[in-house]
Amino acid sequence: MIVVTGATGNIGRSLVEQLVAQGVPVRALTRDPARAGLPAEAEVVRADLSSTASLEALFKGANALFLNLAATRGAHIGDLVAAAVAAGVRRIVLNSSMAVTGVPEDDTAPIAVWHAEAERVVRESGAEWCFVRGGMYATNALMWAAGIRADGLVRGPFPGTTAAPVHEADLAAIAAHALLDPDGTHAGQVYVVTGPAGVTFEEQTAAIGRALGRPEVRFERVSFEEGVTLMEGWGAPREVAEDVLRNFEATVGTEALVTDAVARVTGRPARSFDEWARDHAADFR
């Protein structure tokens, strides 16, 4: 049995679908099972990860755990991991972040701090572990959907922000391999996962326009402060928004880091941003 946290998120949903397709027993944790819309083959369980009293029961009978921090806000990671191990979980795959680099900034940048601490907890848990450090998620572009629907515009301070956006299905595929892992190939491994090529925000916007058949869709530059306000409107705390935008600025005019992790682990090429845009065209209509 594999327990998947964040089962209705972008990565978690894809992971549940991939595991179920392989006939793997899955317990999908969610705050609202009635609205989950997950495959019938999955055991969908209501979970409040902030309640330490009920944690161990969530992991009973499972031997592996996919841990996505986005699903654990309000929870104490140490308590959660300890409960999983006490219940018999012997393998943890952590959805971490490329922001963790092993340099002093890991102790100051909010995103890096959060994930680096989770990595430490998992390493020290006694369970076998694997870290999937995603780069820029292609699904971040979903934040642009309202603007594209309204007037065909994506707004932000740095149109030249460059990254290699990774498709959630590729992150899920790597997690699935690490969770199943019959011979321990992925134990103790840290995978930095990117898409196949660097793409600027302007180019991402154009790719979405092509997927929609709307060539007028374009990126409009705004001030840094306006960019912070936009991100706050999307749910990011101000400190995180400012940190993210500074990271965006630092990539302008650079070459994106591109890794071969998807191909090495899964045996197939990473999906392009154009492919992601076609897969998600309905989200922008």
Q: Quickly name the fold that domain 138-164+196-255+272-284 has.
A: UDP-galactose 4-epimerase; domain 1 (3.90.25)
For the chain, what is the mean pLDDT?
92
**Which has more pLDDT, 71 or 12?**
12
pLDDT at 18 over 70: yes
Distance CA(110)–CA(72), nearest Å, equals: 16
How much is the average pLDDT of 131-138? 94
> For the whole model, what pTM was predicted?
0.91
**Domain residue limits, the chain:** 2-134, 138-164+196-255+272-284
pLDDT at 171 over 60: yes
Residue 43: phi and psi, rounded to 5, are: -85, 105
Looking at the DSSP bridge assignments, the partners of residue 220 are: 155
Q: Label the pairing between strands 162-163 and 128-134.
A: unpaired
What's the pLDDT at 109?
Answer: 67
Which alpha helices (H) appear in the chain, and where do they start and end? 10-21, 55-59, 77-86, 110-123, 145-151, 168-180, 201-212, 224-233, 238-251, 261-266, 273-279
- Whole-number CA gyration radius for the chain: 19
What's the pLDDT at 105?
Answer: 57
pLDDT in tens, 255-264: 999 999 999 9
pLDDT at 106 over 60: no
pLDDT in tens, 176-219: 999 999 999 999 999 999 999 999 999 999 999 999 999 999 99
Domain formed by 2-134, architecture: 3-Layer(aba) Sandwich (3.40)
* Burial zone of 53 (CB within 10 Å; 0-12 exposed, 13-18 middle, 19+ buried): exposed
